[in-house]
Amino acid sequence: MSELKYKRVLLKLSGESLMGEKGFGIDADMLNFYASEVKIAQEHGAQVGIVIGGGNIFRGLSASAQGIDRVTGDHMGMLATMINSLALQNAIEHKGVYTRLMSAVHMHEMAEPYIRRRAMRHLEKKRVVIFGAGTGHPYFTTDTAAALRAVEIQSDAILKGTRVDGVYDSDPEKNPDAVKFESISYIEVLKNNLRVMDLTAVSLCSENNLPMIVFNMNKPGNLLALLRGEHVGTKIQN
């Protein structure tokens, strides 16, 4: 582990990232790619926790447009994260890596209940820990769940894997003149409304001096390079 700058990390992935080129659901190729990247990181000594969203299946925030109340919609979204978590767990274990799936909502037949000390022990035993069902409460996003778990398990950093290579002053997929930040403070993120993560997640990271790195997870080797301290993506800190 001596070669790694970040030894224990929380990797946040969006549910949409699992869609690949599809418009819905889970792309097996993307699932296999992410599992491979996590395996490489684990083999180099990283302790990896993962939070994945459920937007490729169901998003609670948009459920009200379908006549579903927010609490019910968020509960449905939590179940969507568990579907993705189970799929990712299966893909990682097929690579020969031991995992544990922990759920913030009791699902004893499928996952362990989330217990902080047990999660940390799993990481120490070189198991990849996937945290499902968000925080277990409505009105909180999986971004906030990722920030909360990262702080609780004493991560060295929270890594937000996206399909762009960092934080820009505007959407680089819509604006070809968008300017990338090599590093930026949490205050600047909030002041410029950059929407890296939601307000609660950003505030939680800032209050606990937890650095966040936003990077392109879809580029092979990026995760390991980041863990080694190479300049990848955009670093956000106080």
User: What three-state secondary structure class fits 16?
Assistant: helix
The yes-or-no verdict on residue 60 having pLDDT over 80 is no
Bridge partners, residue 102, by sequence = 112, 131
Tens digit of pLDDT for each residue in 148-173?
Answer: 999 999 999 999 999 889 999 888 88
What ranges make up the beta strands (E) of the chain? Answer: 8-13, 47-52, 99-103, 112-113, 128-132, 157-162, 167-168, 180-181, 183-185, 212-216, 234-237
Task: Report the pLDDT value the prediction gives residue 21, as an integer from 0 to 100.
Answer: 83
- Mean of pLDDT values over 7-13: 97
Cα radius of gyration (the chain): 17
Cα separation of 216 and 124, whole Å? 27
CATH class of 8-237: alpha beta
Tens digit of pLDDT for each residue in 202-215?
Answer: 999 999 999 999 99
Contact partners, residue 161, CB within 8 Å, separation at least 6 = 11, 12, 13, 17, 215, 216, 217, 218, 223
- Mean of pLDDT values over 8-31: 92
Cα separation of 237 and 133, whole Å? 27
Tens digit of pLDDT for each residue in 98-128?
Answer: 999 999 999 999 999 999 999 999 999 999 9
What's the half-sphere exposure (Cβ side, CA atoms, 13 Å) at 55? 15
Cα separation of 111 and 34, whole Å? 21
Average pLDDT, the chain: 93
Tens digit of pLDDT for each residue in 210-237?
Answer: 999 999 999 999 999 999 999 999 999 9
Task: Report the pLDDT value the prediction gives residue 89, as an integer from 0 to 100.
Answer: 98
For the chain, the residue count is: 238
More confident residue, 85 or 192: 85
For the chain, percent of residues with pLDDT exceeding 90: 83
Cα separation of 124 and 157, whole Å? 16
The yes-or-no verdict on residue 61 having pLDDT over 70 is no
